[in-house]
Amino acid sequence: MKLALAPFGVSAPASFKAFLLRLERLAAEAALAGADMLVLPEYAAMVCAGAEIKAPDIAAELLHVVDQAELILSGLREMAMRHKLHILGGSLPMRDADGKIRNRAPFIAPSGTMGFQDKQAMTRFEAEEWGVAGGAAPVVFDTAFGLIGVSICYDSEFPLHVRAQVAAGAKLILIPCCTASPAGFNRVRFSARARAVENQCYTAVVPLIGEAAWSGSIDVNIGHAALFTPCDTGFPDDGVATAGALNEPALVFAQVDFAAIDAVRAQGAVLNHRDWAPVAPTEIVALR
């Protein structure tokens, strides 16, 4: 499977239509390069607020994107079907039936089938300033390529969140993120590398990048896209399969081989995947 990891810049679009066109161009570029999956960052959807909001206002930005959520999902679904791609649409704030807003990652198959992974652990900004609530437990998506998990940004810093997905069979964990400092990005990056080692799986980090003077919620964003692996037989010694340049918006392409994960779990120098204490697996969601 070939991944297209898409660091997404936060420059304000001229319109909502222009925002969707930026996503469309990424999907077309990924498909043209032979990618099977396009992965966008956490809160990529917040960029659309820049078309209407010209001065920082975190409450207005959040509500604007909540109001646009269904249109964004519809656009992403059409792109997945048109370009025959799996698309992880980063994440976007969505209002639930209980009235609370949750940070939710849509995962879409080329058929148009869609599933969701909520962010479970909230950062201080999300909980204390934005009022975004923690969501549902981790799930695993059953795709045409195999079982895949999503752990949104801060969630990846908690080993059991990912471990429940691996216990259910996941061999790749997608980690869309949005971090405002080198320290924040390094927390996610180092956590992703640890998850790859301790679970003998792939982890893919995809950040939001750039500065947005118009925004109070995504004003500063730092990071680079990367695919991490076990540090063991058949993989790079440092566990870095590929990494893009810091704060560069270019697509980063990476190959994933689930057979190599099976091999290292069976014949590695160490057997981290086997040697964990038992953890209850999480729910599997069909995404075909």
Return the number of other C-beta atoms located less than 10 Å from residue 249's C-beta.
17
Q: Which amino acid is at 281?
A: P
Supply 6's token pair.
């898409």
- Taking a C-beta distance cutoff of 8 angstroms, is the pair 155, 42 a contact? no
No. of helices (H) and no. of strands (E), the chain: 7, 17
Of 86, 39, 44, nearest to 68 by C-alpha is 44
Domains annotated on the chain, with CATH:
2-286 (3.60.110.10)
Residue 142, pLDDT score = 98
Supply 170's token pair.
């996941």
Note if the pTM is more than 0.85.
yes
Residue 173, pLDDT score = 98
Residue-by-residue pLDDT tens, the chain, 288 positions:
999 999 999 999 999 999 999 999 999 999 999 999 999 999 999 999 999 999 999 999 999 999 999 999 999 999 999 999 999 999 999 999 999 999 999 999 999 999 999 999 999 999 999 999 999 999 999 999 999 999 999 999 999 999 999 999 999 999 999 999 999 999 999 999 999 999 999 999 999 999 999 999 999 999 999 999 999 999 999 999 999 999 999 999 999 999 999 999 999 999 999 999 999 999 999 999
Residue 171, pLDDT score = 98
- Residue range 86-97, pLDDT digits in tens: 999 999 999 999
Residue 210, pLDDT score = 97
